[in-house]
Structure 1
C-alpha cells in the first residue's frame, strides 16, 4: 500500500471537516450528528495533528517569537499541513460549542447558520457574530429595556419596543464599533473616501430605521401586527436590511463599488437584488403608516398620529422615487465635479455638482423628521398643531422634490449653489 501523501492527507482532512460542519448546520438537533461533528471528527483531526507534529517537528525552522519566524516555520509542507489541521480541528470544536450554547440560550437555528458558516471560513469572526446575536437577544429577552425605560421621565415610561426589531437595531448599532475601527486603521480609499465610510454610514442609518420601526410597530393594533402586512415589517425587513449591509460591507472589504457595480453576472445579480431589497424595506414604511392609520391602532394624540402617518408615507413614496432615480441615473452625481471639489463632511454630498443622495436622505428620514416637528408643533395648541404638521409635511416633501430636481439639473444641494 503506497504511503499517504501530504496532498491526500490535506484533502481527507478537509472532507472530514466539511462533513462535520454540514452536520452542525443541517442536523442541529440530531444527537448522533452532534457527537460526530463535535467529538469524533475533532478527535480524528487532533490525532492527525499529533502524528504530523511527532514525525515532522524536528524539521522545524523558525518558531513563534516573531512573524518572520512563524513564516519560516511554515515553509515546511508537513508543518504547514499540521497548522491547517490545527485550524480545522479547533474551528470545528468552536462551531460545535457555539451550537450547544445557542440551544441552551434558545437562539433560533436560522440565526446560527451564518454564525457557523463564518466560523468555518473565518473562525473568530463567526464567534464575534454569535456574541452579537446572543447579546442583542439577551438585551431584549431579559427585560432590560423595560428596566431602562423605568428610569426615564414619566412620558417615556409608557413606550413599548418590538423585541425582534429592537434586537436587530442593537445588533446593527454594535456593528458600528468594528466598522469604525476598520475605518480608523484601513488607509485604502475608493473614489476619494475611506472604503469603510459607506458601510459606517449605512449602519448608522439602518440602526435608526430599525429603532424607529421597533418603537412604532407596537403602536399599531394587534390585528395588524398579526396580519401578513404586519409580519412583513419584522423579520422580512430585518433580513432585507442586513442583506443590504452585508453586501455593502463585503464590497468595501474588497475595495469595490457596491452601487452601480455591473462587472460580471454575479455583480449584476447582487446589485439587482440589493435594489429589490431597498424597494421592499422602504415600502415597509408605507405599510407601517397604514397600520398606524387604522382605527384599531393604539390610542394616540391625533396630531402625533398624523405626523407619524405622514412621515412614514413620505419615506415610502419619496424614498422609492428618489431611489429609482438614483438607480436609473447610473451614478450619485449629475455633472462632473472636480477631483478636489468641496463636499459636505461625512455625508460626501457634492457642493459643485448635482448630488442625488441628498434627496434620498431627506426622503428616508421623513419618518423621523416629521414626527420630530410634531413635538414642537404641540406647543402651538391642539387646534393649530394639525395644520402646522400638514404644512410642514407639505414643505418637507417639496424640499425633497426640489433637491431631486436640482440634482437632476446638475445643481448642488437645493440648487442654491
Structure 2
C-alpha cells in the first residue's frame, strides 16, 4: 500500500467559529459567567453542605459544562446537510435539559439542600427524580450526536479519529453517573431500620459523602469516589482532539509525524490509553480506594497500563507507515 502523507491540520477549530452551533456556544459562555458568579457566591456565602461550600457543586458543573458545550458547538459544525440539522436539534435539546438541571441545582443550593440523591422531603425526592429524567434525556440526546459524529468528514485523519473516539469515551463517561444513584449498603440498612433515608445514592464508596476531600474538587481522600471516572471520561471529548491537534503542531518540527498513518496510530493509542485510565480509576473507586492513596494492586495495574501504552506508542512511531484507514 502507498504511504499517506498529508499536511497536518495545525489551524485550531476557532478559525471557523462562525459556523459553530450557536445555542451550545452561547450556553458555554453562560457557564463561563456562572463560574465567576459561583466563585463570588462562595466568597460571600460561607454555608456548607456535606462538608463542602453550598455553591461548590455549581462551580464545578459550570466549569465542566462550559468546556463540554464549547466542544460540542464545534463538533456539530463538522457535520453537513441533514446530519448537521439532526445533530443541531439533539445538541439544543441537551443544552435545554442541562440548563434545567443547573437551575434546579442552584435552587437547592440556595436552600442549602442536596440537589442529588436528596430524599429529605417529598419535594426534594420529586425534584431529584425530575433531574434524573433530565439527565437521561440529555444522555440520549448526546448519544444521537455521538452516532452522527461517526459520519464526519475531516481532512486530517488523526483529528477525524480523535473526534470519534473522544465522543464515544465521553458518552461512556457520562453514563457512569448512573453508578452513583443506587442506595449504599448503609442507606439500605437505615431504610430497613427506620423506613427512610435522607439520601439515596452517593459519590463515595466505603465512606459516607461529606468526609475529607481534595481542595476545590472535593473528591474523597478516605474512600473511593465515583465522580473521578465520570469526570475524566466525560472530558475525553476535549483531551483526544487536543492530542490530535498537538500532534499536528509537533509535525511541523518532527518529519515522522507528517505521515498521516503515524498520527492516526498515535491517536488510537492515546484513545486506548485514555479509556484504560477511565477504567482503572473506576476500578479503584469501586474498591473503596482513594485516588491519592492507591494500593500496590492499583499501582501495578497502572504500571502495566503505562507500559503497554509506551510500547504501543513506540510501535506507532517506528512501524512502517501504511495507507490510513478511511
Both structures adopt the same fold (TM-score exceeding 0.5): yes
* 2: CA distance, partners of 1:299 / 1:364: 22
| Corresponding residue of 1:273 | 130
Q: Shift in Å at residue 291 of structure 1?
A: 2.1
* Number of residue equivalences: 259
Q: Shift in Å at residue 298 of structure 1?
A: 4.3
* 2: CA distance, partners of 1:165 / 1:404: 29
| Corresponding residue of 1:376 | 246
Alignment of 1:238-317 (within 5 A): 238-294=95-151, 297-317=152-172
* 2: CA distance, partners of 1:282 / 1:415: 32
* 1: CA distance, partners of 2:79 / 2:131: 28
Q: Shift in Å at residue 288 of structure 1?
A: 2.3
| Corresponding residue of 1:200 | 59
* 1: CA distance, partners of 2:75 / 2:31: 18
Residues 284 and 291 in structure 2, CA contact (< 8 A), matched pair in contact too: yes
Answering whether residue 177 of structure 2 is matched by residue 323 of structure 1, we say yes
| Corresponding residue of 2:303 | none
| Corresponding residue of 1:365 | 235
Residues 153 and 160 in structure 2, CA contact (< 8 A), matched pair in contact too: no
| Corresponding residue of 2:320 | none
Of structures 1 and 2, the one scoring higher in RCO (CA 8 A, sep 6+) is 2
Answering whether residue 40 of structure 2 is matched by residue 170 of structure 1, we say no
Q: Superposition RMSD on alpha carbons, in Å?
A: 2.3
Residues 94 and 138 in structure 2, CA contact (< 8 A), matched pair in contact too: yes
Q: Shift in Å at residue 303 of structure 1?
A: 1.1
Residues 169 and 233 in structure 2, CA contact (< 8 A), matched pair in contact too: yes
Q: Which runs of 5+ in 1 are unaligned?
A: 1-152
Select which of 29, 34, 47 maps to 1:188.
47
Alignment of 1:1-400 (within 5 A): 156-159=14-17, 160-227=19-86, 230-234=88-92, 236-294=93-151, 297-320=152-175, 322-328=176-182, 329=184, 330-336=201-207, 341=212, 343-378=213-248, 379=251, 380-381=257-258, 382-400=260-278
Q: Shift in Å at residue 230 of structure 1?
A: 4.1
Residues 224 and 288 in structure 2, CA contact (< 8 A), matched pair in contact too: yes
Q: Shift in Å at residue 183 of structure 1?
A: 1.0
Residues 407 and 415 in structure 1, CA contact (< 8 A), matched pair in contact too: no
Q: Which runs of 5+ in 2 are unaligned?
A: 1-10, 185-200, 252-256, 296-326
Answering whether residue 261 of structure 2 is matched by residue 407 of structure 1, we say no
* 2: CA distance, partners of 1:405 / 1:168: 33
1:344 counterpart SS class: coil
Residues 292 and 305 in structure 1, CA contact (< 8 A), matched pair in contact too: no
* 1: CA distance, partners of 2:79 / 2:210: 49
- For 1:82-114, what per-residue CA distance to the aligned partner results, in whole angstroms no more than 9, with x for missing partners? xxxxxxxxxxxxxxxxxxxxxxxxxxxxxxxxx
Q: Shift in Å at residue 220 of structure 1?
A: 0.9
Q: TM-score, normalised by structure 1?
A: 0.58
* 2: CA distance, partners of 1:275 / 1:363: 19
Residues 175 and 203 in structure 1, CA contact (< 8 A), matched pair in contact too: yes
In structure 2, relative to structure 1, the CA distance for the partners of 1:249 and 1:392 (3 Å cut) is same
- For 1:131-180, what per-residue CA distance to the aligned partner results, in whole angstroms no more than 9, with x for missing partners? xxxxxxxxxxxxxxxxxxxxxx8874234322222222222222223222
